[in-house]
Amino acid sequence: MSAVVNAPARGDGLVVRGLTKTYPNGVRALVDVNLELTSGLYGLLGPNAAGKSTLMRTLATLQEPDAGSIHLDGVDILRQPDAMRRRLGYLPQQIGAYPGVSGRELLRRFAWLKGRTRRDEREREVSALLERVNLTAAAGRAVSTYSGGMLRRFGIALALIGAPRLLIVDEPTAGLDPAERRRFHRVLAEVATDAAVLLSTHIVEDIENLCERLTILAEGRVVAEGRVASLIAALSGRLWTRVIPRGAPLGEHLHATATPRGTRVVVVADESPGPDCAAHSPRLEDVYHYTLRREVTA
């Protein structure tokens, strides 16, 4: 275990310093990762094998790092993992269903495990959570009969039992239709008024719409971090777009999108690369691709 750094003051949220993890096969999943999360929504982006899952499992006390420190509101989580477990909500990509167990009953069981031993207190919390995720009418149904969208909303209810200080959500809107995505976004935004929410997803638009801050991981390292608006603004005036006819070489570009007229490419340049180029207003997707390309060519 790593040397302990000075603990942050109580109430400072989640503070991660120097988190490092190498697996027995030699893969360096995390390399000196630093994070600070207070209340609000915080995005986590990165390609496959970037270290996102390792980071989330480590924060959730499902595995230990080789080095580094984790404090939640001043408590050393590596020395007192139960303190994190009592204050953590975790929504993984896949939610297991218990055959024949209703949504209300499963919430009751998890609430009891989270320390809600008083029946009246447990029932109030379960009913409030079902209402919050719009599942009151389906509470008596077996969870195994829920649709994909219902399962995601039920998962957030499970994660919110015990009013967690930190909520970790992994690909929460994958497979949801637009209406379910919007409903899920509203729930996350409400939760973020009182808790730190770490949102890991491949849907860049979700982070752009929901999060004020984000971290981008690549090969276990933090390659970009900061306010979403500031990271986007840093590319202002440097992006251009053009449509390349089908069959023509694309040339050097940041990223490309197929269109009925050909392939639309976005390029980086301090000045317009040519008369067929138009200025492109940067989005978070551009920041993501630019950051990863910079790492590859560094």
Nearest to residue 73, comparing CAs of 4, 168, 164?
164
pTM over 0.95: no
pLDDT tier at 190 (50, 70, 90 boundaries)?
confident
CA distance 182 to 177: 9
CATH numeric code, 1-96+161-229: 3.40.50.300
More confident residue, 25 or 6: 25
- State mean pLDDT over 172-176: 75
Give the tens place of pLDDT for each residue, 28-69.
Answer: 999 999 999 988 999 999 999 899 999 999 999 999 999 999
Identify whether the C-beta of residue 210 lies closer than 8 Å to the C-beta of residue 41.
yes
d(CA 149, CA 187): 13
What is the percent of the chain where pLDDT is above 70?
95
Mean pLDDT confidence for 134-142: 94
Domain ranges of the chain: 1-96+161-229, 98-145, 232-297
Place of tokens 């994070």: 35
Residues 256-273: pLDDT tens digits? 999 998 999 999 999 999
Number of helices and strands in the chain (H, E): 9, 14
Q: Beta-carbon neighbour count of residue 26 at 10 Å? A: 6
Name the more confident of 189 and 284.
284
Tokens encoding 230: 């500031």
- Name the band, by pLDDT with cuts 50, 70 and 90, for residue 4: very low
